[in-house]
């Protein structure tokens, strides 16, 4: 089952169960996907965005919410932080399993070997390789720091 179908099925289920918070988050996901679909059609891609692009959208949504959680916690708004955490939980249901630290290190080693990276100048190619293979499975901000350390040693 493709990602859009899973999201639509979950939306229908949330409607039937009258789960307002979950439904709200699922509608936000659908709105973000439809917005990107409209932009893709404007670029001449009539079939809209692919599953890889949907994963990218979801990853971006999680990142935005994590930043919001941090801001709300610093501001003492724990109620809003908890709401954002709930949205993160719903969004992450549709993302692939997160890689462990050891798996991230293995992925970095493999990407470095595959692109033949030997210096920090090759960091962009390594990160591009990681993003194409592991979209939604790792935090690329943290992975970037690891790649930089790996290439500078």
pLDDT tens digits, one per residue of 44-102: 888 878 888 888 888 889 889 999 999 999 999 999 999 999 999 999 898 888 888 88
* CATH number, residue 123: 1.10.10.410
Residues 108 and 75 in one domain: no
For residues 87 and 136, membership in a common domain is answered with no
Same domain for 53 and 9: yes
User: Smallest Cα–Cα separation from 115: which of 103, 93, 131?
Assistant: 131
The enclosing H or E element of 33 equals: helix 20-42
Domain residues for the domain of 118 are: 101-152
Among the three residues 92, 116, 138, which one is the final residue of a domain in this structure?
A: 92
Mean pLDDT value of segment 24-33:
94
55 and 27 in a common domain = yes
With beta carbons less than 8 A apart as the criterion, state whether 88 and 110 touch: no
pLDDT averaged over the chain? 88
- d(CA 78, CA 104) in angstroms, rounded, equals 31
Q: Are 103 and 95 in contact (CB under 8 A)?
A: no
Q: Indicate the pTM of the whole model.
A: 0.73
Residue 41 CB neighbours (<10 A): 13
Structural domain total, the chain: 2
113-131 pLDDT, tens digit per residue, is 888 888 888 888 888 888 8
């Amino acid at each position: 089952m493709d990602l859009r179908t899973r999201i639509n099925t979950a939306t229908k289920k949330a409607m039937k169960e009258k789960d307002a918070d979950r439904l709200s988050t699922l509608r936000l996901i659908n709105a973000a996907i439809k917005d990107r679909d409209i932009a893709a059609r404007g670029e001449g891609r009539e079939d809209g965005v692919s599953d890889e692009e949907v994963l990218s959208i979801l990853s971006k949504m999680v990142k935005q919410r994590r930043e919001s959680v941090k801001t709300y916690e610093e501001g003492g708004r724990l109620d809003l932080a908890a709401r954002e955490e709930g949205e993160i939980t719903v969004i992450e249901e549709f993302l692939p399993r997160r890689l462990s630290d050891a798996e991230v290190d293995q992925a970095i080693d493999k990407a470095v070997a595959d692109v033949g990276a030997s210096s920090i100048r090759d960091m962009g190619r390594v990160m591009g390789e990681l993003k194409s293979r592991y979209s939604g499975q790792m935090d690329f901000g943290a992975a970037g720091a690891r790649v930089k350390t790996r290439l500078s040693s």
